[in-house]
Chain A
């Protein structure tokens, strides 16, 4: 068994009863996960009109600001919209609860007690649980049923360090690392099936394992602060940004007559 030139002969029944079933089960579980996540997602909470209005006001001013250096709208329009928004933000007309009263202390709602923010965090955590649990179950299933025999030979070499992980349950210190057990087939499938999920379930599928590992906790967090933030402070900051952008404003069509004439040679190039 330690001679590399001699190849092991494996029973074809291993192929039929282990290789294909593990792959099939993993594909089906991935598809199941995707649909479970879709079913578990609660529909987004409908916000009252005033709340939506304050969010939209913020978005409006951001849209205006982003293209301010190359803006498609001419100067008079830009300046009038910009100043209108600045005044409105300063006076607080877009705020959900009306303009702030002078004596009321403005405290942002506590994220733990605000029901809107809780929903966002729970949705993120639910997705995490649905991802983790099937992986654990499948690993346990494989370790229980498919342990102690060689499954397949890898076509590429690996270092000895992988031996303990990939040949778990097979007590042969001399065997080539390329003969591996079922758990390594699980790992190969785990990484390799993401492309297949992208093909079957579309780009934004919930079965993608690489996405879990890249951002395990970052995904759940950003949804909560959006609802818990204090809009009066946000709108004040936005007003400052708006004024800054107004200073940087420049119309795309400025002096366009000169540019056209120069291009067609009617005016000497400057």
Chain B
């Protein structure tokens, strides 16, 4: 939340609203977890699993864009479109964790 954004420099951003909107991170995290579970249960390996992660990220972004942001991400998320789509390092690792967990439970163990 720092100066590069010209709106923030002019103090036109209300900080409490920004914090409330970061609840979208929860949505992204849950979608990453479920994508991992799906990839594991389906038994996807190698690049197919990562492709599923990419597809699920894009799908989640489309829904957030259409439903929450109503077509104007710059109004609700500082950082605009890229920050909407970017899952972040945490969600990437969570995807890998749940993917490995479910793959192991379903396909490796009897």
Tell me which of A15, A191, A192 has the highest count of chain B C-beta atoms within 10 A of its own C-beta. Answer: A192
Among B22, B40, B94, which residue has its beta carbon within 8 angstroms of that of A195? B94
Q: Does A268 contact B (CB under 8 A)?
A: no
When the two chains form their complex, are residues B97 and A188 in contact, meaning their CB atoms are under 8 A apart? yes
Q: Which residues of A contact B89 (CB under 8 A)?
A: 210
- Identify which of residues 34-83 in chain B touch chain A, using a CB-to-CB cut-off of 8 Å: 39-40, 44-46, 49-50
Q: How far is the CA of A203 from the CA of B39 in the complex (A)?
A: 27
Whole-angstrom CA separation of A188 from B105 in the bound complex = 15
A40 to B29, CA, bound (A): 30
> Which A127-168 residues have a C-beta within 8 angstroms of B?
152-157
Given A195-B33, A199-B26, verify A155-B97 contact (CB < 8 Å).
no
Q: Known: A155-B100, A155-B103, A191-B97. Contact between A10 and B33, CB under 8 A?
A: no
A9 at the interface (CB under 8 A from B): yes
With CB as the reference atom, state the residue of chain A lying closest to B47. A156
User: Cβ of B10: which chain A residues have Cβ within 8 Å of it?
Assistant: 67, 70
Give the shortest distance, in Å, between B84 (CB) and chain A (any CB). 17
A98 / chain B contacts, CB cutoff of 8 Å: none
A238 to B41, CA, bound (A): 62
CB of A55 within 8 Å of the partner chain: no
* A155 touching B45 in the complex, CB below 8 Å, given contacts A12-B110, A195-B29: yes
| CB proximity of B47 to chain A, nearest CB, Å | 8
Within the assembled complex, what's the spacing in Å between the Cα atoms of A72 and B32?
Answer: 44
Q: Is A62 an interface residue (CB 8 A)?
A: no
B40 touches A10 (CB 8 A): no
Contact, CB under 8 Å: A19 / B94: no
CB closest chain-A residue, reference B32: A195
Interface string of A46-81 (1 = CB under 8 A from B): 000000000000000000001100100000000000
Q: Write the nearest CB–CB distance from A27 to chain B, whole angstroms.
A: 12
Roughly how many angstroms separate A122 CA and B34 CA in the complex, as a whole number? 41
Which of B29, B97, B105 has a CB less than 8 Å from the CB of A15? B105
Once the chains bind, are A194 and B109 in contact (CB under 8 Å)?
Answer: no
A152 touches B46 (CB 8 A): no
**B45 contacts A156, C-beta separation under 8 Å:** yes
Given A195-B91, A196-B94, A210-B89, decide whether A152 and B108 contact each other with a Cβ distance below 8 A: yes
- Asked whether, in the complex, the Cβ of B90 is within 8 Å of the Cβ of A194, the reply is yes
CB distance from B13 to the nearest CB of A (A): 13
B14 to chain A, nearest CB (A): 15
Whether A189 pairs with B97 at a CB distance below 8 angstroms is: yes
Given the interface contacts A12-B109, A189-B97, A199-B26, does A153 sit within 8 Å of B103 by beta carbon?
yes
* B10, B91, B104, B107, most chain A CB atoms within 10 A: B104
The minimal Cβ–Cβ distance linking B67 to chain A, given in whole angstroms, is 21
The answer to whether A156 touches B29, judged by C-beta atoms less than 8 angstroms apart, is no
Binding site for B on A (CB under 8 A): 7-10, 12, 14-15, 19, 23, 66-67, 70, 152-157, 185, 188-189, 191-196, 198-199, 203, 210
The 8 closest A-B pairs by CB, nearest first: A192-B97, A191-B93, A195-B94, A152-B104, A195-B29, A192-B93, A155-B103, A195-B90
> Apart from A188-B97, A195-B91, what 16 extra A-B contacts exist at CB < 8 Å?
A10-B109, A19-B104, A19-B105, A67-B11, A153-B107, A154-B100, A155-B45, A155-B46, A155-B103, A156-B46, A156-B49, A192-B93, A192-B97, A195-B32, A195-B33, A195-B94
